[in-house]
Chains A and B, each alone.
Chain A
Amino acid sequence: MKYSEKLMELYSNPKNVGSLDEKDENVGTSVVGAPSCGDVIKLQIKVDDEGKIADAKFKTFGCGAAIASSALITDWVQGKTLDEAKKIKNQDVAEYLSLPPVKAHCSVLAEEAIEKAIENYLSKKGEEICKK
Chain B
Amino acid sequence: MNIYMDYQATTPCDKRVVDEMLPYFSERFGNPHSGHAMGFEANEAVDGARKKVADLINANDPREIIFTSGATESNNLAIRGAVYYYKSDRKKIITSTIEHKCVLETCRSLQSEGYQVVFAPVLGNGIVDMDFLKKEIDDNTILVSIMSVNNEIGTIQPIKEISKLCREHGVLFHTDAAQAVGKIEVDASDVDLMSISGHKIYGPKGVGALYVRIKPRIRLTPLFLGGGQERGVRSGTLPVPLCVGLGKACEIAKNEMIQESKRLTEMKNYFIDKILSSLEKVYLNGDREKRIPGCMNFSFEGVEGESIMLGMPDVCISSGSACTSASLEPSYVLKALSIREDLAHCSLRIGIGRFTTFDEVERVSDKIIETVTRLRSMSPLW
Q: What is the interface of chain A, defined by CB distance below 8 A to chain B?
A: 1, 3, 8, 11-12, 14, 17, 31, 35-42, 59-67, 102-103, 105
Contact = CB atoms under 8 A, between A and B. Distances in A.
B380 A65 contact: no
A63 B378 CA distance: 12
A1 B321 CA distance: 12
A36 B341 contact: yes
Contact of A3 (B310, B322, B379): B310
Interface string B366-382: 00000000000111111
B328 interface: yes
Contacts of A62: 304, 307, 323
A63 to B, nearest CB: 4
Contact of B328 (A11, A41, A67, A102): A102
Contacts of B378: 14, 17, 59-60, 67
B324 interface: yes
A37 B341 CA distance: 8
A103 B310 CA distance: 15
B321 A61 contact: no
A12 B302 CA distance: 18
Interface residues of B, number: 23
A64 B375 CA distance: 10
B172 interface: no
B351 to A, nearest CB: 19
5 contacts: A36-B345, A37-B328, A38-B342, A42-B380, A60-B379
Nearest to A39: B304
A63 B321 contact: yes
A59 to B, nearest CB: 4
Contact of B323 (A1, A31, A35, A42): A1
Interface string B166-183: 000000000000000000
Contacts of B342: 35-36, 38
Question: Which of A1, A36, A63, A64 has its CB near the most chain B CB atoms (within 10 A)?
Answer: A63
Contacts of B321: 38, 63
Nearest to B323: A63
B323 A60 contact: no
A61 B302 contact: yes
B146 interface: no
Contacts of B381: 35, 40, 61
A59 B341 CA distance: 20
A61 B306 CA distance: 11
A66 B378 CA distance: 12
B347 to A, nearest CB: 11
A61 B380 contact: yes
Nearest to B330: A38
A1 B305 CA distance: 12
Interface in B272-296: none
